Amino acid sequence: MRTWALILTGLFVHIILFYSIFDIYFTSPLVHGMTPQVSSESPPAKRLVLFVADGLRADKFFEMDSDGKSRAPYLRTVIEETGAWGVSHTRVPTESRPGHVALIAGFYEDVSAVAKGWKENPVEFDSVFNESRYTWSWGSPDILPMFSKGASGDHVLTDQYPSELEDFADSDSSKLDTWVFDRVKALFERGRSERTLTEQLDQDKIVFFFHLLGIDTNGHAHKPHSREYLENIRLVDRGIKEITELIEDYYNNDGKTAYLMTADHGMTDWGSHGAGHPHETLTPLVAWGAGVRSPLTRPETSDEDPYSGDWNLRHLMRSDVEQADIAPLMACLIGIPYPLNSVGTLPIDYLNFDDRQKSQSLYANARQILSQYQIKMEQKKQTTLSMTFRPYSDLTPVIQAEMIRSINKLNQAGDYSAAINESKTLIHLALRGLSYYQTYDRFFLGVSIASGFIGWTLYILVLVVKEHTDVVRVRVKLVALDQPVLLGRKFIIGGYSAVGALVFILLSVQSLPWTYYLYCLLPVALWTVVTLNWYVLWDCYQRLKEASPTGVSVNLCLTVVMCILGLEILVAGFFYREVLSVGLVCMGVLPLISSPQRTDKVVCFGWMLSCLILAIFPMMPVVGRETNYYLVGTAGVLAIITGVLAVHRLKNFTTSSNHTYSTNYIQIVITALSVYVVLSTASSIQRKQGLPVVNQIFSWLILGVSLVIPVLSGTGVLHRLLTITLAYIPLYMLLSISHEGLFVVNLCYLLYFWLHLEDRISRHTGQIRQVGSVDFVPSIPSEIKQQRHLQLEDVRRAFYFVFLMLTGFFGTGNIASINRM
C-alpha cells in the first residue's frame, strides 16, 4: 500500500511539473474587449485579392532559372512595372496555421494551439476576414475552417477540396492549385447570372482568399529543387495572371482592386519546415493594384542582402516586412478596422498615400495596439496586490497621454513626418509593454516550480537513503533524544502550515487561477516532508565524516565530479549533438581504465567498439535532409543477420522450447518484409506511381503483428529482450529514410554489451546472479527477501541509462529535424 501511495504521489507531482511548462510558457497572449480602430477614412480599394502560395521560398520565387528567365514572369512584370515588393519575415514555428494566423489576423500564433497540433482555435480571435463585409476563400480543409469558425456571422464563405486530394505520394500536386483557380472562375461566371451573388460581389470591403497548397505538397514530396516544385511556381504565376485579368474584366477595370501575393512559410532543401532556417522564414511579398505604390528606384546606399544576390532586383526598392504587418496593410487598403488582436505595424512604404493619410492610418494602428496594452495592464493590475504591482515604466498612463497629445498636435500642425515617427515609437513601446505583462508572473511561477522540483528531488533522496542504504537504520530511533527544538516535528509542521496558509490567502486575495495554488503550495508540502526527515541528511553527513579522515570520501568526490561533467554533457547535447559523441567515447574507454580486471575482454571490446561506432552518428547530418534507401536496406540485412545469430545463440545456451523461438523467426521474416516495403515504395514514388496499395496493406499488417508477438515470448530475460527488440525493428525500418536504421541496430548492440558488462561487474562483486539465469517466473521466498544496498556504481548506471535515452532521441536528429513534414 505504501508503494502505491508513493507511485501516485510521484505521478501527481510530475503531472503538475509537466503541466506547468505549458501553463506558464504556452498560454494564450490574446486579450479581448478592445474598441475597433478604422484603418483609413477614404480607402483606395473596394476589394482585396490575397494569394498565399503555401511553402513558397523567397529565393525560388525571385531568382532566375538556368536560362536566365523568371519562374514567375507575370509577377516579375508586376514588380518591375506596377507594384511593390519585398520579403516577409516569418517566425518559428514555420507551419501553415501559424503563418496564416499571422497573415490574416496580424498576430503570431497563439502558442496554446501547440496542444491542438496547430489545427484548432483554442481562443477565438479577430481577423481581416471577420472585419470584412464578405470573404470568399478557396483551398485546403486544414486552413479555411479556422477563419470561418471564428467569424461573427456567416459572411466568411469557404470552398474547400476533400482532404484525400492532399496526397504526398502523388506524382504532381499542382492539381490542388488548378482546382482553386477553376472554382474561382466558376464563381465569377455565376456572378454574371445570379442576382444575389452579383449584389454581394458589387459590395465594398470584400476579400478573395486563395490558399494554394500545391507548392508545399510538391516540396514535401519532391524537395524544393525538384522540377515539380519549380513548375508549380510557374503554374501559380499563370493562374494569378488569369485570375487578375478575370477580376479586372468582371469589374470593368474600375481600378478598385488591390492584390497581394505572399507565402505562409518557406521550406528547407530537404523538404521540411517548422524551424528557423532562412529558407523557412523568408517568403516573398508582392503587392499591386489600388492603393499600392509604383516601383521605386533603390537608393545606392542600401545594404546588400546575402540571399538576394542572384535575384537581379538590386535596381528596385525593396520593402521588407514582418509577417504580421501584412494584416494591417490589407485592412488599410480596403478601409476595414484593424484586426483587434493584431500586433502588426502598418508598412506605409507599400501605400500610395499622401503623408496625411499615412500618418492617420499609422496613428489608428498605434491606437489599436495601445488598446491591447491598456487592457492587458488592467487585467494584470486587478490580479496583483496594489502594493506589489510593478507597472511598465516606459509606457505609464501619463506617458501614453503625452504621446497621444503630441501625435494629435503634430497632425494638426501638418508635421506628418514627425507624427509618423511618434506613432512608430508608440507602437514599439506598446508591443514591449504587452510582452512585459504577458510574462509578468513568469519569474514568480518559475521560482515556485524550481523550489518544488528541488523539494521533490530531496524527498526522493531521503527515501532512497532510508530504504536502500544502511546509513540511518541504527540512528533513526536515537534522533528524538537530542534533536533541536526548532527541528521538532510540531514546530516544523506548524511553521510550514503557517506559510501555506499565508500563500493561500495571498493567492485568494488576488483571484489568481487555481493552477497557481498547485504551483505555490506543492513546494510547501514537499519541503515539509523533507524538513521532517532532516536527520537522514544529517546522518549522511556524519557517515561521510566517519568514512574518511578528511571528512570527505575520495570516491564520492570523484563520483560527484563525474556526475557534474556528465550532466554538462547531457545539457550541451540538447544544443550540440556532437557533444554526445564525446560522451560515448568516454563511456567506451571507461571500463578499460576503471575496472579492467572485473570485465570479460570480449564483452569489454564489444562495448568499446559499439560506443565508438555509435559516436559517429551524432556528427553526421540530421536525418531527413537526404534520402539513402541503400543504407536502409543495409540496416535491414544487418538486423536480419543479427537476429538469426542471436536466436541461434540463445537456443544453445537456454532450455526454452523450439516453439518459443519460432516467433523470433517470424519476426525476422517480418523485418525482411519491412525492408522490401521501404525499398519498393521508394522505387514506386521515384517512378511517379505513388504508394502501392499492397505496401499499405503490408505496413498495417507489420504494425499489428509486431505489437502482438512480444506477448508470446518466453519468460527468460534475454529471450524477452530479444523478442521486444525484433518487434520494433521492422516498425523503425518502415519509418527510416537514411542512416537511422544503422544507428538503431548499433544502439541495440551497445545495449546488449552494456547488459553483459554490468552482469560481469556485478558478479565479480558477488551482488547478483548471472543475467542469463534471470527468469520472469515466481521466485522462491529466499530470493524475494534478498536485499541489496545501493552503491556508487549505481550512480554511474543511472547516468548511462539517461545518457543512452538522450542519445537515442538526438543521435540522428534534433528538435528541428522532427518537425512536421
Cα angle at 269 between 267 and 271, to 5 degrees?
A: 55
pLDDT, position 766 = 59
| Cα 95 from Cα 821, distance rounded (Å) | 9
193 Cβ contact partners less than 8 Å away, ≥ 6 residues apart: none
Cα–Cα distance between 802 and 805 in angstroms, integer? 5
- Assigned C-alpha cell, 741: 536504421
Coil, strand or helix at 258: strand
Residues written for the chain? 821
Question: pTM to 2 decimals?
Answer: 0.84
In what side-by-side order are the strands of the sheet with 321-322? 156-160, 134-139, 206-212, 47-53, 257-262, 282-289, 84-89, 321-322
Angle, in degrees to the nearest 10, between helices 693-708 and 717-734: 160
Place of cell 507575370: 74
Q: Does residue 562 sit in helix, strand or coil?
A: helix
Q: Read off the amino acid at residue 296.
A: L
Each residue's pLDDT tens digit, 587-643 = 998 887 766 555 678 888 999 999 999 999 999 988 876 789 999 999 999 999 999
Beta-sheet pairing, 47-53 with 134-139 = unpaired
Question: Is 128 in contact with 336 (CB distance < 8 Å)?
Answer: yes
- Report how far residue 101's alpha carbon sits from residue 327's, in angstroms, rounded to the nearest whole number: 9
The single residue listed with the C-alpha cell 521466498 is 781
**Alpha-carbon span 419 to 427, nearest angstrom:** 12
DSSP string, 702-752: HHHHHHHGGGG--SBHHHHHHHHHHHHHHHHHHT-SSTHHHHHHHHHHHHH
Element (H or E) spanning 520, and its range?
helix 514-532
- Residue segments in the chain with a per-residue pLDDT below the cut of 50: 118, 475-481, 551, 780-785, 816-821
Which of 286, 201, 211, 281 minimizes the C-alpha distance to 247?
201
